Amino acid sequence: MSEAKHSCGLAAVHLPKPLKKYPLGGAAFYLYKMLLQQQNRGQLSAGITTYNEGREQIIDTYKKIGTVNEAFRSHIPLKSRGIMRKYGGSKGIGQVRYATSGPSDVGAAQPWERHHGRKWKWFSFAFNGNIANFAQLRKQLNKEHYHLVRKIDTEIVLHHFTKSFVGTRKPKMTDVFGALAEKFDGAYNINFINAEGAMVVARDPMGFRPLSYSIQDNFIGAASESVGLLNFVKNGIKDIRPGELLKIENGSAKIQRYAKNKKTAHCMFEYVYFANAASVLDGRSVYKARLRLGRNLARSEKLDVNDRDYIVVAVPDTARPAADSMARNLGIGSLEGLIRNRYVGRTFIEGIARDERVKEKYNINKSVLKGKKVILVEDSIVRGTTSKSLVNYIKKEGKTKEIHLRVSCPPIKFPCFYGIDMSTTSELIASKNMKPGERDKVGRVDIGKNALERIRKEIGVDSLQYQTINGLVDGIKIDGGAKNLCAACLTGEYPTYCGRKLLKKAQQNAKKKKKGRTYE
C-alpha cells in the first residue's frame, strides 16, 4: 500500500565500442532506460553523471525532481533529445531516489559531483541505503571543522571520499572503499565515477541491498536490480557479492573484494515488497519467492473456505503473486476486485485526505466484490492508515459480506535504520497495539492474540492473519536461511552495532513522544 518508502536504485554503464555504434546519448540513453526499469525504487528524483573525454565538462551531472520520464522530459521529444546530446558519453552512473533522510529538494538529489583540478579527484557518486551511524560521523566531521550544508548521510559519504583523495598519490579504490567499510555502519551500495573515466560499483559488506552486474563485449553495466539490465543483456547477469566491488578502468572490468564480511544481512523487504517481481536477487527469483509466501499463507489459513462464497483479492500490484498463489492452494478464485489507476501520478497537493487518495489510486470492481467473503491479500502493513482507508472503501462501495485481511509479511514491530523510511516505533501499527513489555521485547516473533485483535479492530476487518517468521524464511529461501536475512523490523535483532543502539534511542523517543527520524 506504499506505506513503506525505499531509499533508491542505482545504475552504471560503460560502452566499450565507439559511441556511433550506440543510440543517441550513449551512456545517457542506457542510464535513462535502466533507471526507468527501476522506478519502483524511488520516484522523488532521477539523475545521471556521464563521462565524455571530448567535452570541457569531462564528467557532467544532470538531475531533476520527479520520476525518470519527468526528469528526462520524455513527453517532449525535442527536449529529451537535447538532454541526450548534452549529456551523451561513453560511461556514466545514475540514481532514482526516495528520501529516507534530509529534504526532498533537488539539492539532495543524486548523483553528487565534486569538481577538482586533478582529474582523479574530480568525481561523482550516488548511493543506496542509510548510514546508521550518521550522527556520530557528522559530529566527528564537525570537530574536524568540516562545514555540512545539507546535513544528510550523502554529505557524509562525500566528505569521506574527499578525505581518501588527500595528497598527490592516487589511492587504490579497494583501499578507498575499505576505509569506508571501517567507518560506516549500515547499508550503502555506491556507484562512483571520476574524470579519468574510472568507475566503481560497490556493495556493502553485509549486502543489505541487492546489486547486479553484467560484462559483455558491447555493454558493461550494473544496477540495483537485474531488471535494470534485462533489456540489454540476454545472459550473464550476476550478483556483486557483499564486500565486493566492480571496477571498470582502461576498458577492462573485474570484480575485487574490498572488505571482509563475517555475516550477511539481505533485507527481507526486498523480496516481500520493494523489488520488481521480475528481478532475481542473490540467485533468488522475487516472483517465485512471493508465490511461496502466498502458498505459506494458504497453509496457515484458519477459515473453512469454499469457491462459492469466498474470493481472493490482491491489493495491486506487489501482492498479486502471493494472492494468486494463496487462492490456487486454497482452491478458490483470485479475482481483480481492486483495479489500480495507473494514470494517477505523484501529487503535490497538500492536505488531501487519505480516504481520497485511496479512491484516486484504486477503483472498486463491484461486480466481483458484491455479496462475497473477500480474502484481501496485502504484502505488508506498516502504519495501517492506508489499510484502514482501503478496507472502509471496499466495504462501502464494494458491498462485500466479509473482509479477511491476509499479510504475506509478519508484523512490523521495530524501526528500520538501513534504508526504509520507518525509523520510529510510534508510527508502526503493530508496535502501537502491543503492551509496553511486549513492544520492547527483542526477538519476540509472536505478536499475541490480544494485540492482533486490537489491530483487526483498528483496521476494521472481520479477521486478520499475518505470515509467520518461519513462513517468511521458507518463502524467500535465501542461502543460509534466517541468519543471512535482515528481519530486524520484525524481531528487533539488528545485524549492526549502531542498529542496536538506535533501537534504544527510538524506544526512548517513543516514551518522550519525540517526533522525527531516529537517526537524524
Average pLDDT over residues 130-139: 94
Distance of alpha carbon 184 from alpha carbon 125, whole angstroms: 16
Average pLDDT over residues 364-369: 96
CATH class of 281-410+445-486: alpha beta
pLDDT at residue 6, rounded to an integer: 57
pLDDT at residue 442, rounded to an integer: 86
- Cell matching residue 256: 575485487
pLDDT at residue 519, rounded to an integer: 62
Rounding to the nearest 10 degrees, give the CA dihedral for residues 481, 487, 488, 492.
-80
Q: What fold does the segment set 8-129+189-254 form as a domain?
A: Glutamine Phosphoribosylpyrophosphate, subunit 1, domain 1 (3.60.20)
Contact present, 114 and 59 (Cβ < 8 Å): no
The mean pLDDT value of the chain amounts to 93
Residues 52-67 have pLDDT tens digits of: 999 999 999 999 999 9
What phi-psi label fits residue 253: left (phi over 0), alpha (psi between -120 and 50 degrees) or beta? beta
Question: Is there a shared CATH topology between the 8-129+189-254 domain and the 281-410+445-486 domain?
Answer: no
Taken in order 145, 146, 149, 152, the sign of the CA dihedral is: negative
Q: Cell numbers 565500442 correspond to what residue? A: 17
pLDDT at residue 149, rounded to an integer: 87
Residues 485-500 have pLDDT tens digits of: 999 999 999 999 999 9
- Size (the chain), residues: 520
pLDDT at residue 102, rounded to an integer: 55
Average pLDDT over residues 7-30: 95
Average pLDDT over residues 377-392: 95
Residues 315-345 have pLDDT tens digits of: 999 999 999 999 999 999 999 999 998 877 6
pLDDT at residue 151, rounded to an integer: 76
In the chain, where the domains are located = 8-129+189-254, 281-410+445-486
- How many CB atoms are located within 10 Å of the residue 164 CB? 17
pLDDT at residue 7, rounded to an integer: 62
Exposed / middle / buried, residue 85 (Cβ in 10 Å: 0-12, 13-18, 19+): exposed
Task: State the pTM of this model.
Answer: 0.93
Q: Is the pLDDT of residue 451 over 50?
A: yes
Distance of alpha carbon 321 from alpha carbon 307, whole angstroms: 19
For residue 416, indicate whether it is catalytic: no
Distance of alpha carbon 299 from alpha carbon 326, whole angstroms: 8
Confidence at 349, pLDDT banded by 50, 70, 90: very low
Q: Is the pLDDT of residue 104 over 80?
A: no
Q: Is the pLDDT of residue 189 over 80?
A: yes
